[in-house]
Amino acid sequence: MVMKQIKKIKFNQNLEIDKTGHKVGKIKLKRISEKLSTAELKMYYIDFEKGAKSKIHFHDSDQIIVVIKGKGHLVTYSEIDPVTPTKANLTIGVSVELDEGDAILIPSGTLHWHGASKSQHSSQLSVMKTGNTFWL
């Protein structure tokens, strides 16, 4: 049996500015799973400024979000209009405020966005199995 190396990092230091284009507003993040060299999980520390959020997306695995600081927001969508999917005539499924210390499960395939409330920043941990994210 090969012994794997144990790694330790500071997840809330040396954050990178998110330049992916999959966001609205200013977001900084750290790809924790990358820094810890694991291929089995994706884990991010995400710092959203007031009103910043991800664009609408879904994952091919469950996602857990834990609010570390501030106040966050999560919106899910129950359907996309099949006639004009590019215009995304969406129906809101759930809209929920997330407080510091809250953890929430977003089931695989759930169309959603998450971010900070309009009045406060939010720092969140995002955890899921390695897989794909699909952006609208």
Q: Give the model confidence (pLDDT) of 31-76 as tens digits.
A: 999 999 988 999 999 999 999 999 999 999 999 999 999 999 999 9
Tell me, rounded to whole angstroms, the distance of Cα 127 from its chain centroid: 8
- Residue 83 clears pLDDT 80, i.e. is over it: no
Rounded CA-CA distance 46/48 in Å is: 6
Q: Evaluate whether 31 touches 38 at the Cβ level (below 8 Å).
A: no
Q: What angle do CA 90, 62, 47 make, to 5 degrees?
A: 80
Whole-prediction pTM: 0.87
What topology does CATH give the domain 22-135? Jelly Rolls (2.60.120)
Q: Where are the domains of the chain?
A: 22-135
